[in-house]
Chains A and B, each alone.
Chain A
Amino acid sequence: MRYLLAGAIVLMLLAPSATMAAEIRQADHVWQGDDRLLVRMYLDMGLPDVVLDALANGVGVDFVAEARLEYRRWLIGEQIVTAQTRSVRLEYYELSRHYVVTDHDREQTDLAPTLGDALELLARRLGRMVLDVDRNSLRPERDYTLATRIQVDHAALPLPLQWDARLRSAYVTRLGWYRWSLD
């Protein structure tokens, strides 16, 4: 039993190295006035088989996109100026045989007849975020960096799947941070 537990812990420690089958192909930003920064991600969305399997079996999967503006300080590390998240849920609707993409922030629901369409919708919803930041408050001597990532929201998974997701690397669906300079 101890060996099983030790193996599970080792798996968990190794887990962050795995990624879901999605990729941030490109990301950029656009200032909308002096107090809004639109962050755009261009995603190639794909999902691990276990997530697809879960979707096919009626499990709704929540995705969270995160974006933040940060700068690095010596010895202290990353300092976050502002951050924003966006949560979008993907599920399959049996009655209409459509995938439903629900943007919780905008309270917007879209239907897609195929998974590809659903993922495209998903990428579109997740790929746009607005950071509230006063452009004039940014100090020119600092190197500001924008960072984004997306991940499956484990906390929104059914509890048994959370166990499974914690103990199986196949469920680890978190992309690493994609960073680029604000300049």
Chain B
Amino acid sequence: MVLGLRRFPWGLLGMVLLFLLLLASLVLMGDAAQNSARFEQLFLWLLAFHGLVLVALGTLIIYQFSRLIVQYRDGVPGSRLTLRLVAGFMLVAVLPVTVVYYFSFKFLNEGVDSWFDVRVEGALEDALELSRSSLDLRVRQLAQETQEIMGQLQDVSESLVPLALNDVRAQMGAQELTLVGANNRIIASSTDSPIRRLPSPPGSDVLLRMSPGQPFTRLEPQADGSLVIRVVAATGNRRPGADSRILQGIYPVDPRMSALAVRVQDAFVDYREFAYLRGPIKQGFIFTMSLALAISLMAALWAGLLVARRLVRPVTDLAEGTRLVASGDYSTRLAVSRDDELGFLVRSFNAMTRTLSEARQEAERNRRLLDAERAYLESVLQHLRSGVLALDGSLRLRTANGAACQILECDLWAGHNRFLSEYDGECPLVSQFFDAISDALTRREQEWSREVVVFTRTGRKVLMTRAVWLPNLGNNRGLHAIVFDDMTEFLRAQRDAAWGEVARRLAHEIKNPLTPIQLSAERLSRRLGKTLHGSDREVLDRATQTIIQQVEAMKTLVNAFRDYAQAPRLALVPLDLNALLRDVCELYGGVEHARIVLDLEPGLPAIRADAGRLRQLLHNLIKNAMEAVAQQPAGEVRVATRALDDGNGRRVELRVADNGPGIRPEFLERIFEPYTTDKPRGTGLGLAVAQKIVEEHGGIIECHNQPSGEASGGAVFVIRIPVDHGGDTGDVGDERQ
């Protein structure tokens, strides 16, 4: 995965475009501020544009800020740094702008006000008043003169008026003199320039404002900037029907005086207009400045956000990459988009992750190899018939294989990492085993072996144990590797083989001389019995009879050994064990000192067995039990059958239990060995033969004493024989030998 791939810098492009647009708009605004017509055209558009820019920038900034804050709260890598940078940018941008704004505002307010001075304004007013006064003086003078001329012209006939007017006009330096009669009729007119314009009578507004004896005067500006004084004088009698005349004179103001007065007036007007516009000027400046500063500030904030994000992006990618590496993803690579220190950092990160990835792959390969080795080892251990235990230096159990669990009759896997000494109670064999080897373990002998005997309910187990101390394993705390084998069956088989050989030799070596001995004894009795009398005869008879009886006894013994050593060929057929049991037990119905209780499971599946051999087995067991309870006041032999499935296939279980004294523990472990008996007259071969018959049928036989707490007490023999699955019947004696 590659983080931080180079993307098109839309933000940067937008920022540049916005900057150009703002620059253009500010230039246009500056231009509009100098040009009224341009201002009228552009003001609304510029204002709307700047308003939109402000709103857009504000929205962008709020969006970016809210996104940043959400990322900060969510702990997104890089958000904290971005926020700090943005805060720094804001501080850097806002503080100078605020200072500039404050002082600019103050300067504008105070600076513009300082342009105006009361003394200047007063001087201008005085100058204007002076101009007015001098002009008024001239106006009054001309009014008086015009009124006097009007008096002179009142009695002049109309034919002479033009000449008189010319003279007077020339005399007074008037621009125009016009005499108007009734109904505003022009009687005569004189001008200093005939091409100037046609004379016009006084307007109605002038006539309306005239009062008797008081000439109308007005200072009038001209299009060329000069001033003229209009004076309209009338005769005293202006009654309707009377011959009233009006003289209108237009007098130019002295050009120098006119220019001075106009300049004073213009200066005064300009100053007053300027003073009047002081407020709007300040507002305009402040508005423009505020707008420009606000846009600049917001653009700076936005640019700060973008720049901060651009600056932090490699750091963010690094943080994200580091997080991914920390979470185990070593395939993370960062795109290198810079040549600066951050680019160097990114390249170093990529090199580091590549190295880590290779190291991890190598470690993974090794781990898989180790796992395979371990699995192989565990598989080997599990399939070993030898029990294997691994204990650490503090004698905690680290490993145990299935054979160990089976031999020690304990689920050692459940107690993984426990001290072996803690199994006391729940796993007595483990406890016994540990007691037997703890001294060697504690001493940490380098290598040792010993035969350990543990006792179970069914007898004892002989465990051939070998161990080695490996001090450098198990995280340097050392490891005891213990291997043990259950030699019980092996030893028993050895003993069985030895006894079989003994039996065979006895049968061969002893039985053969017995018949001649018996025949010889009988012959001695017949031949010498006729010749001897009295006590000699009795001695002979007793001796020969003793010889014959002992020979018979020895024959019986040898036959029993023969039976043990050489089993007959088996004729396996499906057999109903319950029926056979009832048949056999009937034979013991007449026994007085004990009773047989049958507890046979109905519908017991058939077994494949040789009926004769099995009958012999049942006789041996029942006879043995009956003899065991012979001394009991209420002797009882309980025979029970049931079907079970113990995980090794379906079997039929036969239990023969008595309430006798039980079997002495020292005999219990060798109960099925030949010539093992605690009866004064037993051959010691009954149970050995019984075990042989059971094994010939593929079954097992166990013997144990019933727990003392149980009501019956005594010994229990348990036999389990596989159920018949419908195989061929036939003679399998060869395989069962």
- Which A residues are within 8 Å of any B CB, using their own CB? 1-2, 4-6, 8-9, 12, 53-54, 57-59, 93-98, 100, 107, 109, 111-113, 117, 154-164, 166-167
Q: How far is the CA of A166 from the CA of B131 in the complex (A)?
A: 37
Interface centre among B55, B272, B275, B276, by most chain A C-beta atoms within 10 angstroms, is B276
List of A residues within 8 angstroms of B270 by Cβ: 58
- Asked whether A5 and B291 contact (CB < 8 A) given A93-B221, A95-B265, A113-B209, the answer is yes
Contact A160 B277 (CB under 8 A): yes
The verdict on A161 contacting B132 (CB below 8 Å), with A95-B227, A109-B223, A167-B287 known, is no
Q: Report if B40 contacts A (CB, 8 A).
A: yes
Q: Which of B36, B48, B54, B205 contacts A2 (CB 8 A)?
A: B54
A167 and B283: CB pair below 8 A?
yes
Do the beta carbons of A166 and B43 come within 8 Å of each other? yes
In addition to A1-B294, A53-B276, A96-B221, 6 A-B residue pairs with Cβ atoms within 8 Å of each other are: A6-B51, A95-B262, A97-B132, A158-B36, A163-B284, A163-B287
CB of B52, distance to nearest CB on chain A (Å)? 10
Give residues of chain B (40-96) contacting chain A, Cβ–Cβ below 8 Å.
40, 43-44, 47-48, 50-51, 54-55, 58
Q: Which of A12, A96, A155 makes the CB contact (< 8 A) with B44?
A: A12
The list of the 9 closest CB pairs from A to B, nearest first, reads: A57-B276, A160-B280, A155-B40, A96-B219, A58-B269, A163-B284, A164-B280, A58-B273, A1-B294
User: Given B220, B227, B268, B281, which contacts A160 in the complex, CB threshold below 8 Å?
Assistant: B281
- B50 contact set on A, CB distance < 8 A: 5
Given A111-B218, A117-B205, A163-B287: A57 touches B36 (CB 8 Å cut-off): no
Residues of A within 8 A of B607 (CB): none
In the complex, A6 Cα to B293 Cα: how many Å?
A: 16
Which chain B residue has the least Cβ–Cβ distance from A113?
B209
Query: A143 CA to B344 CA in the complex, in Å?
Result: 80
Knowing A5-B291, A94-B265, A160-B281 are in contact, say whether A100-B221 is a contact too (CB < 8 A).
yes
Q: Quick one: given A57-B275, A58-B273, A156-B36, are A163 and B47 in contact (CB under 8 Å)?
A: no
A12-B280 contact in complex given A5-B54, A93-B221, A155-B39, C-beta closer than 8 Å: no
Residues of chain B within 8 A (CB-CB) of A98 are 218-219
Query: Separation in Å of the A98 CB from the closest CB of chain B?
Result: 7
Chain A: CB-nearest residue to B54: A2
Chain A residues near B135 (CB, 8 Å)?
Answer: 95
Q: Do A163 and B280 form a contact, CB below 8 Å, given A57-B272, A109-B223?
A: yes
Q: In whole angstroms, what is the CA distance A156 to B294 when docked?
A: 30
Give complex CA distance A9, B291 in Å.
13
B711: chain A residues at CB < 8 Å are none
The chain A residue with its CB closest to the CB of B271 is A58
Q: For the complex, what is the distance from the CA of A96 to the CA of B230, rounded to whole Å?
A: 11
**A51 CB to nearest B CB, Å:** 12
* Min distance, Cβ B338 to any Cβ of chain A, angstroms: 36
Measured in the bound complex, the distance between the Cα atoms of B51 and A96 in whole Å is 47
B261 to A, closest residue via Cβ: A95
15 examples of A-B residue contacts, CB within 8 angstroms: A1-B293, A5-B291, A5-B294, A9-B51, A57-B276, A58-B272, A59-B273, A95-B131, A158-B36, A159-B33, A159-B36, A160-B283, A166-B43, A166-B44, A167-B287
Chain B neighbourhood of A160, CB < 8 A: 277, 280-281, 283-284
Q: Which residue of A lies closest to B52 (CB)?
A: A9
Min CB–CB distance B259 → chain A (angstroms): 12
Of all chain A residues, the one with the shortest Cβ separation from B297 is A1
Pick the residue among A58, A107, A156, A163 that contacts B223 (CB under 8 A).
Answer: A107
The residue on B at minimum CB distance from A165 is B280
**Complex contacts, A155 vs chain B, CB 8 Å:** 36-37, 39-40
Decide: B39 and A162 in contact? CB cutoff 8 A.
yes
- Assess the B218–A162 pair: CB atoms within 8 A: no
Q: Is the CB of A8 within 8 A of B47?
A: yes
- A154 closest partner in B (C-beta): B40
A158 to B274, CA, bound (A): 10
Interface residues of B in 248-273 (CB under 8 A from A): 261-262, 265, 268-270, 272-273
A164: chain B residues within 8 A (beta carbon): 279-280, 283-284
B381 an interface residue at 8 Å Cβ cutoff? no
- For residue B179, CB closer than 8 A to chain A, the reply is no
User: Which of B48, B128, B131 is in CB contact (< 8 Å) with A9?
Assistant: B48
Q: With A94-B265, A96-B220, A111-B220 in contact, do A157 and B131 touch (Cβ < 8 Å)?
A: no
CA–CA, A94 and B219, complex, Å: 10
Closest CB-CB distance, A117 to chain B, in whole Å?
7
Contacts of B283 in A (CB 8 A): 160, 163-164, 167
**CB-defined interface of B693-722 with A at 8 Å, one 1/0 digit per residue?**
000000000000000000000000000000
Given A5-B51, A5-B291, CB of A162 within 8 Å of CB of B276: no
When C-beta atoms are compared, the residue in chain B nearest to A9 turns out to be B51
B24 CB to closest chain A CB, in angstroms?
19
Q: Which residues of B contact A58 (CB under 8 A)?
A: 268-270, 272-273, 276
Check A161–B277 contact: CB distance below 8 A: yes
Chain A residues whose C-beta falls within 8 Å of the C-beta of B550 in the assembled complex: none
Contact present for B218 and A59 (CB under 8 Å): no
Say yes or no: is B729 at the interface (Cβ < 8 Å to chain A).
Answer: no
Minimum CB–CB distance from A100 to chain B (whole Å) comes to 7
In whole angstroms, what is the CA distance A159 to B32 when docked? 9
A57 to B268, alpha carbons, bound, how many Å? 10
**Most B C-beta atoms less than 10 A away, residue of A8, A117, A159, A161:** A159
CA distance A2 to B293 in the complex (A): 11
Interface string of B570-614 (1 = CB under 8 A from A): 000000000000000000000000000000000000000000000
* C-alpha gap A100/B39 in the complex (Å): 27
Please give, as numbers and ranges, the residues of chain B lying within 8 Å of A163 by CB-CB distance: 280, 283-284, 287
Whether B290 sits at the interface, judged by CB under 8 Å, is yes
Q: Tell me whether B268 and A94 are in contact (CB under 8 A).
A: yes
> Which A residues are CB-close (under 8 A) to B268?
58, 94
Tell me the chain B residues, 185-202 only, with Cβ under 8 Å from chain A: none
For the complex formed, measure the closest distance between the CB of B391 and the CB atoms of chain A, giving whole angstroms. 79
**Distance to closest chain A CB from B13 (angstroms):** 25
Expressed in whole angstroms, the Cα–Cα distance for A58 and B277 within the complex equals: 10
- Asked if residues A96 and B218 are in contact (CB atoms below 8 Å), the reply is yes
